[in-house]
Amino acid sequence: MRRGILILAALAVLAMPAAVLAAGPHDNDCTDCHSLHDTKADPAFGVVPNSSEKYRGSGQTVSGTDALCLGCHNEAEGIMPILLAKSHPLGVRPRKAFVPQEVLGRNGELTCGSCHDPHPSNPNYKYLRIDTGGGRNMGAFCAYCHEAMVDKNEL
Ligand code: HEC
Ligand code: HEC
Ligand code: HEC
Ligand code: HEC
């Protein structure tokens, strides 16, 4: 199933015109992440949640969207592994950063989904929630939550 994502992505590369490729490697096989009748977590997640990664700071085991993403993006699966110990804070409630409420997790915490919308429909670089022009204007992305740090003339 997880390998399926890669194979389908490879086939899609051969079959589709360049403009469609912008959508990235999470292809239209929605059931790579969601399951309709064998859910492992809400909302209808079909991937076994990662239960070994811990939040830096609280030391609690990852949950929710983070556990889904890290169910594939870990060293054992070898799919672009993400290590929380070496990452931007996660699982924390914003204190100084301004984060739009609708992208926070259920307990008001920062999740992978605060920065990424992983859906195949998202054409942005690295599935970021903000268009960075293919990664050339990362300031536009950071400005989403850290507006005070950014040179507005360059956005
Ligand atoms: C890479 C993993 C991934 C893939 C692939 C994926 N989803 Fe999702 N989906 C998520 C996550 C994570 C959430 C939770 C987002 C949130 O709560 O903000 C979600 C939430 C949803 C929701 C609820 C959204 C809402 O606004 O309430 C729907 C509906 C949905 N997905 C449908 C789909 C469909 C249809 C596809 C295939 C085209 C798909 N998903 C593919 C990860 C994925
Ligand atoms: C079912 C497995 C699976 C899950 C769950 C999953 N991904 Fe992925 N993701 C992949 C694969 C496969 C790739 C492509 C890896 C490669 O090209 O080497 C990928 C690539 C990515 C990329 C890089 C995109 C690019 O254009 O280079 C990002 C960013 C990403 N995933 C974020 C997420 C986030 C955030 C979540 C959780 C909301 C998530 N993924 C959940 C399988 C998954
Ligand atoms: C979706 C919102 C969001 C985005 C986008 C975002 N951040 Fe953050 N950032 C936060 C939150 C929340 C914190 C936790 C501290 C706080 O609330 O002020 C934080 C903390 C930080 C910290 C302090 C780290 C630490 O260990 O104390 C740095 C540095 C930082 N962010 C840099 C960036 C940069 C650079 C970008 C763009 C590439 C970025 N952030 C994008 C929400 C975000
Ligand atoms: C504060 C914002 C932020 C959060 C939170 C965040 N990411 Fe990212 N992520 C980014 C940015 C920005 C990039 C692109 C970095 C670049 O290209 O320089 C990225 C890149 C990635 C990539 C591609 C790595 C590669 O080698 O190209 C993956 C996979 C990914 N993120 C997964 C995740 C997962 C899983 C989580 C949650 C555990 C997460 N991200 C949380 C901002 C974030």
> Does the beta carbon of 144 lie inside 6 Å of ligand 3?
yes
Going by pLDDT thresholds of 50, 70 and 90, the confidence category of residue 23 is: low
Ligand nearest to the CA of 35: 1
Nearest to 53 by CA among 26, 28, 83: 83
> Does the beta carbon of 99 lie inside 6 Å of ligand 3?
yes
What does the pLDDT look like over 84-137, one tens digit per residue? 999 999 999 999 999 999 999 999 999 999 999 999 999 999 999 999 999 999
> Does the beta carbon of 25 lie inside 6 Å of ligand 2?
yes
> Does the beta carbon of 105 lie inside 6 Å of ligand 1?
no
The contacts of residue 72 (CB under 8 Å, 6+ apart) are 2, 47, 79
